[in-house]
């Protein structure tokens, strides 16, 4: 079942969209402001986000920009009450995939949702699932197995691993990890990152002291190699 996150502050619109998308067979989560929307985008891991532009706390442009900055490639359909061309341009600039102007018909929105899901079909670095050596990790359920044995990960460990995997082959600095995985409203130190990486290695690496997947790049940060 495809999962859709609806971020819309007008209750009637939000609930109407939820009900109708559910009737179409989607699993739907809603958020009434930009901040909550972002939080849910990271916990619910939707296949698609329907994102209003005019929102309290953080507007839709800001939410979309933040998702892309944190390497979340989930497709986004933006909704706006305005039909200004500049909104549309900005929407695409911050990484939206499609754009619907209010008022729109439900049929139109549903058609766009289907089209975007078909076009983007989640794969690649944003995959839900990864296999590292003999370890199998499902990013959605946070469940991991090695053979028949279950391996426990905390949510933060899974987020960190997911981030490293999404940047396979690239060096990511501790500062990037702090910004992108922890977010700026929390203030762990770079030392925290090192501790988390050490814990991840215990679970991921066959020989944690001689890592072959999560490499330390001296003086720079970390690099995941698949
Ligand atoms: Ca609004």
Q: Judge if 132 and 71 occupy the same domain.
A: no
62: CA distance to ligand 1 center in Å? 14
Q: What is the pLDDT of residues 56-107, one digit of tens each?
A: 999 999 999 998 888 777 899 999 876 677 777 778 888 888 889 888 899 9
Indicate the pairing of strand 48-52 with strand 76-80: parallel
pLDDT in the model for residue 133: 86
173: CA distance to ligand 1 center in Å? 36
Q: Judge if 191 and 169 occupy the same domain.
A: yes
Q: Judge if 45 and 108 occupy the same domain.
A: yes
Q: What is the DSSP letter of 124?
A: G
Judged against a pLDDT cut of 60, whether residue 122 lies above it is answered with no
1: CA distance to ligand 1 center in Å? 27
Domain count, the chain: 2
34: CA distance to ligand 1 center in Å? 10
Q: Judge if 131 and 100 occupy the same domain.
A: no
Q: What is the CATH number of the domain that holds 144?
A: 1.10.10.10
60: CA distance to ligand 1 center in Å? 9
13: CA distance to ligand 1 center in Å? 9
77: CA distance to ligand 1 center in Å? 14
Q: Judge if 130 and 203 occupy the same domain.
A: yes
185: CA distance to ligand 1 center in Å? 25
Q: Of the residues 67, 90, 119, which one is the last residue of a structural domain?
A: 119
pLDDT in the model for residue 54: 92
Q: Of the residues 84, 119, 154, which one is the last residue of a structural domain?
A: 119
Q: Are 166 and 125 in contact (CB under 8 A)?
A: yes
201: CA distance to ligand 1 center in Å? 44
116: CA distance to ligand 1 center in Å? 22
Greatest mean pLDDT among 118-122, 130-134, 206-210 lies in: 206-210
Q: What is the pLDDT of residues 151-200, one digit of tens each?
A: 988 888 888 998 888 888 888 998 888 877 876 556 678 788 899 999 99
Phi and psi (nearest 5°) for 6? -105, 120
14: CA distance to ligand 1 center in Å? 10
Judged against a pLDDT cut of 50, whether residue 52 lies above it is answered with yes
If you average pLDDT over every residue of the chain, what do you get?
87
Judged against a pLDDT cut of 50, whether residue 138 lies above it is answered with yes
Q: Rounded to whole angstroms, how far apart are CA atoms 53 and 152?
A: 38
209: CA distance to ligand 1 center in Å? 51
Tokens for 117, please give them: 């899901």
Judged against a pLDDT cut of 70, whether residue 124 lies above it is answered with no
**Structural domain containing residue 210:** 126-224
Q: What is the CATH number of the domain that holds 75?
A: 3.40.50.2300
Q: What is the DSSP letter of 169?
A: T
97: CA distance to ligand 1 center in Å? 19
């Amino acid at each position: 079942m495809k999962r859709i996150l609806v971020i819309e502050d007008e209750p009637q619109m939000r609930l109407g969209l939820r009900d109708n998308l559910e009737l179409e067979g989607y699993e739907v989560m809603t958020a009434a402001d930009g901040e909550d929307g972002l939080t849910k985008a990271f916990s619910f891991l939707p296949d698609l986000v329907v994102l209003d532009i005019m929102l309290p706390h953080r507007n839709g442009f800001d939410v979309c920009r933040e998702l892309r900055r944190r390497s979340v490639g989930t497709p986004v359909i933006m909704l706006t009450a305005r039909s200004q061309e500049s909104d549309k341009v900005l929407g695409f600039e911050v990484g939206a995939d499609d754009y619907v102007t209010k008022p729109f018909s439900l049929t139109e929105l549903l058609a766009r949702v289907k089209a975007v899901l078909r076009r983007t079909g989640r794969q690649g670095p944003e995959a839900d699932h990864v296999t590292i050596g003999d370890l199998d990790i499902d990013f959605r359920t946070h469940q991991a197995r090695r053979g028949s044995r279950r391996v426990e990960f905390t949510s933060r460990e899974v987020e960190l691993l997911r981030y490293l995997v999404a940047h396979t082959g690239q060096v990511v600095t501790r500062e990037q990890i702090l910004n992108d995985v922890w977010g700026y409203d929390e203030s762990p130190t770079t030392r925290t990152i090192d501790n988390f990486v050490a814990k991840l290695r215990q679970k991921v690496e066959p020989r944690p002291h001689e890592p072959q997947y999560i490499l330390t790049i001296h003086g720079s940060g970390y690099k995941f190699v698949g």
